[in-house]
Structure 1
Amino acid sequence: MVHKKYLCRAPKILLIGAGPSTSGLIAELSLNFDAIVAADGGFDSAQQAKLEVALVVGDMDSQLELPANQAAAHITDQETTDFQKCLSVCDAHIFLGVGFLGGRLDHQLAAFSALLNEPRPVILMDEAQLVFVVPQKFSIDLEAETPVGFYPMVPVEASLRGVRWPLSNAVMSPMGQIATSNIALGGALEITVDRPGLLAILPRRDLDAVLTALGRGFGKAHDQ
């Protein structure tokens, strides 16, 4: 599904899904984002957090009635999720999605697939953690003893430095080498990967550092 005209453009867009979240977290995150887009039933979560929503997107199977003045994109396509629909009609330098982790496992797996197919930086977050696809060259400063995890959604060759258990040109795959339980040594954590496909899992507290690091290099890596 390709939309030639984006319905919402902003440097940083907060996407709100209908999955588990809290009004407090959503309201806190909204302070640092330029526009808020709700995925179907995520509009209810945005309203509970008393936020102004720039656009509601989805097949509207969970959102039957909207205020008359609310901008919306009703997309009936059943081949894509509401999360994918949001990405298709919105453009940003970086996206943060809340309400897409937890809840139904099939929805969460579908969100991970959407990350894998998205060339722009997208972070998914809940109360405890954040998840994103690592660009081909990535560096971030973390405190010592920060728990970090890496999971290959497709076979990749990766090197990890600045962690207790480093890897050098390791062949990683869902059925082989993974690195889901690791610890940052402190300072620069550096990752190189031969293709997009490696999920990074970090604590919620590192959101600002991740936003900065992805803003530095994600697009460049995917344009190679």
Structure 2
Amino acid sequence: MTNENYMCRAPRTLLIGAGPSNAELIREISFYSDAIVAADGGFWAAEQAGAQVALVVGDMDSQQDLPAGQAAAHILDQETTDFQKCLAVCDADVFLGVGFLGGRLDHQMAAFSTLLNEPRPVVLIDEAQLVFVVPQEFSVDLEAETPVGFYPMVSIEASLRGVRWPLSNVAMSPIGQIATSNVALGGALEITVDGPGLLAIMPRRYLVAVLAALDRGFGKAHHQ
């Protein structure tokens, strides 16, 4: 999608899906966003949280009657998910996503595939954790004994430092080396990868630190 066709522009955009979430989580994460976009049925979760939705996007198979004046992008394409449709019509430096983890496993796996194909940083959030694709160089300070996990969605080469079980220029793949159930040693967690494809999982309380690290890792011009 070309820049002139974007329907929502904001430095940080919160996407709300129809998966498991709650009003408290939506209100908390909306504090870190500049705009809120709902993926189809996610509109009702946003409304229950009292969130001001800038745009509703999707094939609208979960919608009945939107409030008068609510901006919406009705996209009939059945080859993409509502999550993908939201990303296609929004311009942001970073996306936050609530309501895309948990629930139906096929929906969650589709969301992970979307992360893998999206060049801009996206952080998916639930009550307990953050999930995101790490850039080629990533560093964040974590407390000792913080649980962390790393899962390669494709074959990559990666180094992990600052964890109990480090790796150095190791080939990782879904059917080979993975690094789930790891633990931070305390201080800097440093990751380098030779390309996109490594999912990082860590506690939700590190959202602010992760956003700052992703900003450094992707840079300001990554979405242009």
TM bucket, shorter chain: over 0.9
Deviation, structure 1 residue 64: 2.3
Deviation, structure 1 residue 189: 0.6
Task: Tell me how large the CA RMSD over aligned residues is.
Answer: 1.4
Q: After the TM superposition, which residues 3-14 of structure 1 pair with which residues of structure 2 at under 5 Å, given as runs?
A: 4=3, 5-14=5-14
Which portions of structure 1, spanning 4 or more consecutive aligned residues, are displaced by more than 4 angstroms? 219-223
Cα distance between partner residues in 1 of 2:197 and 2:43: 30
Residue 135 of structure 2 is matched in structure 1 by 135
Give the TM-score of the pair, scaled to structure 2: 0.96
Which secondary structure does the structure 2 equivalent of 1:174 belong to? coil
Residue by residue over 1:10-41, the C-alpha shift from the partner in whole angstroms, topping out at 9 and shown as x without a partner, is: 01001000000110110111122100000000
Q: Which runs of 5+ in 2 are unaligned?
A: none
Which secondary structure does the structure 2 equivalent of 1:115 belong to? helix
Residue 41 of structure 1 is matched in structure 2 by 41
Residue by residue over 1:176-219, the C-alpha shift from the partner in whole angstroms, topping out at 9 and shown as x without a partner, is: 00001111111111000001000000011111110110011124
Give the TM-score of the pair, scaled to structure 1: 0.96
Q: Cα 1:222–1:47, aligned 2, differ >3 Å: closer, same or farther? A: closer
Does structure 2 retain, via aligned residues, the 8 Å contact 1:14–1:37?
yes
Q: After the TM superposition, which residues 111-190 of structure 1 pair with which residues of structure 2 at under 5 Å, given as runs?
A: 111-190=111-190
Deviation, structure 1 residue 221: 10
Does structure 2 retain, via aligned residues, the 8 Å contact 1:39–1:86?
yes
Cα distance between partner residues in 1 of 2:53 and 2:220: 30
| Paired residue total | 222
Range with greater deviation from structure 2 (212-221 or 145-154): 212-221
Does structure 2 retain, via aligned residues, the 8 Å contact 1:3–1:88?
no
Amino acid in structure 2 at the alignment position of 1:39: A
Cα distance between partner residues in 1 of 2:25 and 2:220: 30
Does structure 2 retain, via aligned residues, the 8 Å contact 1:136–1:222?
no
Does structure 1 retain, via aligned residues, the 8 Å contact 2:93–2:222?
no
Which secondary structure does the structure 1 equivalent of 2:182 belong to? strand
Does structure 2 retain, via aligned residues, the 8 Å contact 1:159–1:193?
yes
